[in-house]
Copies of this chain bind each other. A is one copy, B any other.
Amino acid sequence: MTDAPGFTGSPLDRIDIERDQPALFAERLADPRARLLVLDGLDPVVDEDGRLLWTDMAQAGDAEVALLGLIDAIPRFVALRGGANRNHHAIFRLLDSLPAGEAGTYATARSLVDWHARHRFCANCGTATVPMRAGWARRCPGCDAEHYPRTDPVVIMLAEHDGPAGRRILIGRQPRFPAGNYSALAGFLEVGESLEEAVTRELMEEAGVRATAVRYVASQPWPFPSQLMVACIARVESDALTIDTNELEDAMWVTRDELAAALAKEPDARFKVPPPYAIAHTLFVRWLAGA
- Cβ–Cβ contact A123 & B127, under 8 A: no
Contacts of A174 in B (CB 8 A): none
Contacts of A151 in B (CB 8 A): 152-153, 189-191
Q: Number of contact residues on A: which range applies?
A: 35 or more
- Cβ–Cβ contact B192 & A153, under 8 A: no
- Cβ–Cβ contact B197 & A8, under 8 A: yes
- Cβ–Cβ contact A118 & B126, under 8 A: no
Contacts of A221 in B (CB 8 A): 191-194
Residue A125, interface by CB 8 Å: yes
Q: Mark A210-234, 1 if CB is under 8 A from B, else 0.
A: 0000001011110100101010000
Complexed CA–CA distance, A195 and B122 (Å): 28
- Cβ–Cβ contact A121 & B122, under 8 A: yes
CB distance from A70 to the nearest CB of B (A): 13
Complexed CA–CA distance, A223 and B192 (Å): 7
Tell me whether A194 and B121 are in contact in the complex, defined as CB-CB below 8 angstroms, given that A128-B126, A201-B14 are known contacts: no
The winner among A124, A127, A223 for most chain B CB atoms within 10 A is: A124
CB distance from A203 to the nearest CB of B (A): 13
- Cβ–Cβ contact B125 & A121, under 8 A: yes
9 contacts between A and B (CB under 8 A): A8-B197, A107-B192, A121-B121, A121-B123, A148-B152, A150-B152, A151-B153, A191-B221, A192-B223
Chain A interface residues (CB < 8 Å from chain B) = 5, 7-8, 10, 12, 14, 16-17, 104-105, 107-109, 111-112, 115, 118-128, 136, 145, 147-153, 188-197, 201, 205, 216, 218-221, 223, 226, 228, 230, 244, 246
* 3 closest cross-chain pairs (CB), A and B: A108-B192, A121-B126, A111-B191
